[in-house]
Homo-oligomer: A and B are copies of this chain.
Amino acid sequence: MAGNPSVRSEDLSSRMTRVARAVDDLLDSTLPPVVDGAEGRLFEAMRYATINGGKRMRPFLVQATAALFDVPESISLRVGVAVELIHGYSLVHDDLPCMDDDDLRRGKPACHIAYGESLAVLAGDALLPLAFEILTDPATHPDAAIRVALVSGLAQAAGARGMVGGQVLDLAAGDADMDAGEIARLERLKTGALIAFSCDAGAILGRADETERKALAGYAHDLGLAYQMADDLLDYEGDQDVVGKAVGKDAAQGKATFVAAMGADKAREQARLLAEQAAAHLDVFGDRAACLRDVAHFVVERGS
């Protein structure tokens, strides 16, 4: 890798912070404003679930991949917000008592703790179509064919053969020992599908050619797995105050994780290898992809 890693890393951090703030602003203007009455509580719960100091990794990936093709940030951020709405809804539903039963999310009470179970289900149910609604807005892209391609990709990533399928495998995993290959398949769906779409969205917006699109798909695949391994390591050895959610839960619940399947040392080594491999996919873009390469390394070295 070219450049001074410490300067590069600082650049990445400030760029991520800038994008995260822009995502927060756009979420704020996109979500319905809080009003009096029952609907107001719904709108509040939708905001609580999404405007919450998240890292905005997925919107950042949309922005950074779209930037390879000089797509204006005003466009890529809107697509990033759509992805973030899907991510936010999935966390609300994952935390429900009948799912992972998590009381804490990003250092705060989970949505169903703060707003009750029925409003949490419904806040998720409302965030989901809002994501698609944003993508259909001409402000997102003037070309209807691009908008419809984005809706199609996001719908598939969020669906039964994507994120929801992964959550089903995850819930079933408690019943059976899984090897690293099975966990990889589960995570490719559960977290990988949305990460893959985030990178593909950049390719769609940029009208990437087949070679470029495949390169980004390869990057997203390896990045998604590395991300999940790092997540498992954070649950295994992270600091709850830094991570912002309960740690050590995976082991306590006997959950299928990469750490459980291969041990922490091997998982860390594997995550770093995957990050290298992810970065290598980007050769076709040359120096333009420096930021995305940094993201791959950041993902496995992060503390939260």
List residues 82-126 of chain A with CB under 8 A from any CB of chain B.
Answer: 93, 96, 98-99, 116-119, 121-122, 124-126
The 21 listed contacts between A and B (C-beta, < 8 Å) are A38-B169, A39-B168, A39-B169, A41-B168, A41-B172, A46-B160, A93-B122, A99-B118, A121-B121, A122-B167, A124-B125, A125-B128, A126-B159, A126-B164, A129-B132, A129-B164, A132-B151, A135-B151, A136-B149, A136-B152, A144-B148
Closest CB-CB distance, A100 to chain B, in whole Å?
A: 9
Closest CB-CB distance, A277 to chain B, in whole Å?
A: 27
The verdict on A165 contacting chain B, using a C-beta distance below 8 Å, is yes
Q: In the complex, A159→B37 CA distance in Å?
A: 17
Closest CB-CB distance, A81 to chain B, in whole Å?
A: 14
At the interface, is chain A mostly helix, strand, loop or mixed? helix
Contact partner of A38 (CB less than 8 A), chosen from B93, B98, B129, B172, is B172
The verdict on A258 contacting chain B, using a C-beta distance below 8 Å, is no
Which single residue of chain B is at the shortest CB-CB distance from A159? B129
Q: Which of A98, A136, A148 has the most CB of B within 10 A?
A: A148
Q: In the complex, A51→B121 CA distance in Å?
A: 23
Closest CB-CB distance, A123 to chain B, in whole Å?
A: 8
The verdict on A8 contacting chain B, using a C-beta distance below 8 Å, is no
Q: In the complex, A116→B158 CA distance in Å?
A: 21
The verdict on A266 contacting chain B, using a C-beta distance below 8 Å, is no
The verdict on A60 contacting chain B, using a C-beta distance below 8 Å, is no
B148 engages A136 (CB within 8 Å): yes
Known interface pairs A129-B155, A159-B130; A42-B168 also in contact (CB < 8 Å): yes
The verdict on A171 contacting chain B, using a C-beta distance below 8 Å, is yes
Residues of B within 8 A of A15 (CB): none
The verdict on A43 contacting chain B, using a C-beta distance below 8 Å, is yes
A121 engages B133 (CB within 8 Å): no
Q: In the complex, A140→B87 CA distance in Å?
A: 28
